[in-house]
Each structure stands twice: as structure tokens, then as C-alpha cells.
Structure 1
Amino acid sequence: MIYRLFCLFLLTATQAAAVDTCHGDTACDLGDRSYHVLEPDDWDSETPLPVLLHFHGWARQGTVVVNHERIAGATKLRGVLLVAPNGLGKSWDFWTSDTRDVPFADRVLEDVAKRYPIDPERIYVSGYSFGGAMAWRYVCQSGNDTAALMAVAGSIRQTEHCPQAPAEVRHVHGTSDTVMDFPFGPGGDTTYPVALWRQKYGCHNATPGGDWSVVPILTLSRMEWTDCAQGQVVLDTHSGGHFIPHGWIGRQLDELLGREPTYP
């Protein structure tokens, strides 16, 4: 009995040490690469955690993500574990299916699961700009089942073939974006940014979800596809440019987690 208690103490101490030395701004090493992780506020250290795997934008690293008010500010308040991989050269290779960043992200999630009790049914994949495109690439071909894609102002080509898909897709893009241009469809179709997933899921009729905002300076317009053969798609558009809209990540998490949407 004493021996088993001693072993349990050692295991707990080892896990605590791993968290203490690999958290927030301090990266978790994984071979020759690394990632960052941030726990939610008031976590009891036992309850399984939903995970937001977020890919940073170009010329950034995971330190930006775990300190970002519109990303970490949302996860900390909603009981979500934030995981932010570091891209090689502060970027991502999402251009084709021949990329080492997808298996790297798989290894990141595997390593996180060794450090934290995570909820495998609630793995959300997000990203901004180049990171948004990397999030698309990841859910398109990763071996991991993911509950939702939450992409901001970045995607892969709508004509690509994706061998797999998440359970749900949520995307936001500004029609005045000139960094990763808003992908207008034929005739100026503003629903084209999610054409790949609508075809993959067998979606047909779009339903207006109405306008919404959390700050007076920006209004988002929502379109939803819920008549799909599988999955569902949500597209939020706005008239602005290349940025993460206030409250967007928090609202998506609230809706996915079955919470009343709040801000922040």
C-alpha cells in the first residue's frame, strides 16, 4: 500500500513538474520542434479539457497565441485548453498535401494528451491567416478526428480534394481582405469561401443566420448549411480586412460547447 502511494506521488509530481516547466510562454519541446500550451482559468486539474489547437499567423509563434486577447482570452474563460504549435521559420507549409506540418501537429496533440486529461470528442482546430490555411490543411488530411474547424481569414484552394473532414466547419473572412484575399466565387458569390466543405458534406440550401456583433465597429453576417448529408457549415463575413474579429473565437466555442454566447 505504501509503495503504491509512493508511486502515485512520483507520477503526480512528474506530471506537475512537466506542466510547471512547459506552460504559457515556456515552450514544450517535441523533438526538434515545439509548441505552447495554456490552461483555462479555474481548472480543477482533473476534469477532461476540450482543446483548441490554434495555428499562428505568418511571422509569429505560439507565444503570440497564448497571450492574444481574442484567442487565449476566449479559451481561458471557457474551460478550454489552448495549444499553439510553432511553425518552422515562423510559417506553415499548407500549400500541398505533401507537408510535414500535419504529422507534426498530430504529434503535438499526442504529447498534450500525455500531459493533460483531454476530451477527445471536443478537439477544435483553429488558425489565423497562414495559420487559418494550415488549420484547413490539417483537418483535410490529419488522422485525428476533430470536432470542428474554426478558421479565420485563411484557407486552402476550394478545388482541393480532402480525404477527410471535421464534424463541423466554421469560417470567418472579411470581404475587404487584401492579405489573404476574400475568395469570391463566380458572379461575386460570397458563400464561396466554404465551397470545398459544402461539396464534401453534400450541402444544398443556405440559411441566413442573421447579423451579429459584439463591438459597435464591426457587424458580421452569418450563413449556415444544416441540410448536409453529413456535418454542417457556418460562414461569417464582414466588410473589414485581415484580422481576428472581436469575440469571434469565443462565440464559436460557446456555440460548440452548448453555452449561451457571451463576450468576452
Structure 2
Amino acid sequence: MRSLLIFLILFWPGFAMADETQIAPCHAEMPCILGERSYHILEPDDWDGKTPLAVLLHFHGWKRQGTTVVKHGRVAGATRRRGVLLLAPNGRGRSWDFWTSDTDDVAFAAAVIEEAASRYPIDRNRLYVSGYSYGAAMAWRYACENGNGVAALLAISGTLSQSERCSQAPHDIRHVHGTSDTVMDFPFGPDGDTTWPVKLWRDRLSCHEPGRPRGDWSATEPLVFHRTTWEDCTKGKVTLDVHARGHFIPRGWIARQLDDLLAIAPSYP
């Protein structure tokens, strides 16, 4: 991460560790300008202005922008109530370049985190990366290329190829996908294996044992998730939630993952 930060300071257009007198105001739907690009930022409700904040970096879906994220009840509604700073980068052309490791969107997202850190005190040990649809695939790409400094990946309805080789990885992987998804198709494995969507991370984190079924759970009715976990991994752990429906951000899913990661009592929203 230190080498990437040095690269950002030296080479990313317009990036600098500015002091408070140099920082242009931005908030929620008013974007923060970062070189030729931008992102959106939303602090949690009732923040005292000084306590370091956990961070959720969330990549929007195809043809969306960060304005959608900071207004989204299933994303911003979860972060605002849990003391989490929400960062929502804007993709070029309202999309993301996640197809190969040869993308500057990873460096841009890393620059977003560093620029936000010049505005707010952030807790580097509680940096979470999330995304939906194309944004989930971008979150996977970010974790694949720059995941060692990420505490957890929270991905929704979008993956990379399970044969991808990742140089880095977060310690905690959490993914949710619907078996009826026809937009970012559910990646069934051989013989209809429904644990295949996280094979890449199981391999990367050295999860040698079969997944352990944890039964069904719900954040809200009537959607039911079937959970499988791999907790014997030598380099981390993996959680997969599968539901029977299609392509959407499940109500309450991000909130429940944050409750778990922050060790607070589960609540909704």
C-alpha cells in the first residue's frame, strides 16, 4: 500500500495530500473533485467530528454514479446508522474497467481513500470495499490488486472469472448472489455447484476443507439466504450467501455484514 501511495502522489493527476485550507467542500450529492475525476462522500449520522471512522468504499452499478450510492437506503442507509464513512467513486462513462489487472480504476479508488483521509479521520483497520453488479466486479478487482489493506470485501451480484490470479486479498470475503440472476449470471460450478461464486477466494485464502452450511437466514421477509462459510482457511475466511431471486441489492444485507464486522447487535435497517 505504501508503494501505491507514493505512486499516487507522484503520478496521479491532481492528487496531493492537501491540508484543510486547500480542501474544497464536498458532501453527499456534491462531488469531491480528484484530478479529472470525482467521488462522493457521506459521513454517518451523529458523528462527533473527531472519532476515527470505519470506511465503506462502494462501487456503483453500470450506468449509475456515486450520487445513487449516497442516496441509496440499502447502502447509505446502512452506513449512516453504524458510524461508517461512505465513499462512492464515479466510474468513467458510468462504468468500471475491471476486466484485467491493466486498469487505472484501482489506483483511482486508492486515491479516493487517501483524499478522503485528508478530510476525515479514518480507521485504517476497518476499511471495507463493496460494490453492486459491475461495481461488485470492480470491488473484486480492487481486492485482487490492492486487497492487503482491506479488512473485508462485501460483494453483491458480480464477480471476476474464478480462474483469475490475484496478487492480494482481504482477510474476510463476503459475497451474495441470486441463482436467478440473468444480468451478472450466477456462476454455477460443475454439476450445478452453488459454492462456485467464491472459488477464486477459497483458493487464494487456502481454504482446504469443504464449506460448512450455516442454514438459512433473513434480514427482511420474504427473502431467504442460504449461507455457507469457510473458516478453516490459513489466510482468512469466506462467506457466501445465496438466494433464489435475481439481480438487486438485497434489503438489509450490507447492514447485517457491517453489524457483524463492527461487532454490534444486528439491527435493521
The TM-score bracket by the shorter chain reads: over 0.9
Contact 1:106 1:144 in 2 (8 A): no
1:217 paired to 2:222 = yes
- Figure out how many residues of one structure are paired with residues of the other and give that number: 250
Contact kept in structure 2, 1:205 and 1:227, CA below 8 Å: no
Q: Counterpart of 2:128 in structure 1: which amino acid? A: Y
Asked if 1:84 corresponds to 2:70, the answer is: no
Letter in 2 for 1:199: D
Q: CA deviation at 1:17?
A: 9.1
Separation in structure 1 between the aligned mates of residue 21 and residue 177 of structure 2, nearest angstrom? 40
Q: TM-score, length-normalised on structure 2?
A: 0.91
For the 8 Å contact 1:56–1:130, the answer to whether it is kept is: yes
Give, in whole Å, the separation in 1 of the partners of 2:69 and 2:22: 23
Letter in 1 for 2:38: S
Q: What is the letter of the counterpart of residue 172 of structure 1? A: V
Deviation at 1:205, TM superposition (A): 2.5
Aligned-pair CA distance for 1:15: 3.9
Q: Larger Cα Rg: Structure 1 or Structure 2?
A: 1
TM-score, length-scaled by structure 1:
0.92
Match of 1:47 in 2: 51
Q: Which runs of 4+ in 1 moved over 3 A?
A: 14-19
Contact 2:53 2:122 in 1 (8 A): yes
- The residue number in structure 2 matching 1:229 is 234
| Contact 1:154-1:180 at 8 Å conserved across structures | yes
Shift of 1:202: 1.0
Name the CA shift for 1:16/1:129 in 2 (closer, same or farther; >3 Å).
Answer: farther
Deviation of 1:18 after TM superposition, in Å, equals: 4.4
Q: How does 1:181-260 map to 2 (within 5 A)?
A: 181-203=185-207, 204-260=209-265
The equivalent position to 1:32 in structure 2, one of 36, 39, 48, is: 36
Matched residue, 1:6: none
Partner-residue secondary structure (3-state), 2:154: strand
Q: How many Å separate the matches in 2 of 1:49 and 1:244?
A: 24
- Structure 1 residue 76 displacement after superposition: 0.2
CA-CA distance at 1:214 after TM superposition? 2.4
Residue in structure 1 matched with residue 11 of structure 2 by the alignment? none
| TM-aligned CA deviation for residue 207 of structure 1 | 1.1
Distance 1:250 1:143 in 2: 21
Q: After the TM superposition, which residues 1-264 of structure 1 pair with which residues of structure 2 at under 5 Å, given as runs?
A: 15=20, 18=23, 21-142=25-146, 145-203=149-207, 204-264=209-269
1:257, distance to aligned residue in structure 2 (A) = 0.6
Counterparts of 1:50 and 1:205, CA distance in 2: 32
SS at match of 2:224: strand
Structure 1 residue 144: Cα displacement:
5.7
Deviations, residues 20-51 of structure 1 (Å, cap 9, x unaligned): x2000000000000000000000001000000
CA distance in 1, matches of 2:141, 2:151: 15
Q: Take 2:266 and 2:175, find their aligned partners in 1: how far apart are those partners? A: 17
Note the residue ranges of structure 2 that are not aligned, 5 or more in a row: 1-18
Cα distance between partner residues in 2 of 1:194 and 1:155:
8
Question: Secondary structure of the equivalent of 2:108?
Answer: helix
**Residue 54 of structure 1 contacts residue 85 of structure 1 at CA under 8 Å; is this kept in 2?**
yes
Q: Could you say which residue in structure 1 is the equivalent of 2:15?
A: none
Q: C-alpha separation between the residues in 1 aligned to 2:62 and 2:204? A: 28
Q: Tell me, what secondary structure is at the counterpart of 1:115?
A: coil
Identity level (%): 63
Backbone CA RMSD of aligned residues: 1.3
CA distance in 1, matches of 2:163, 2:148: 22
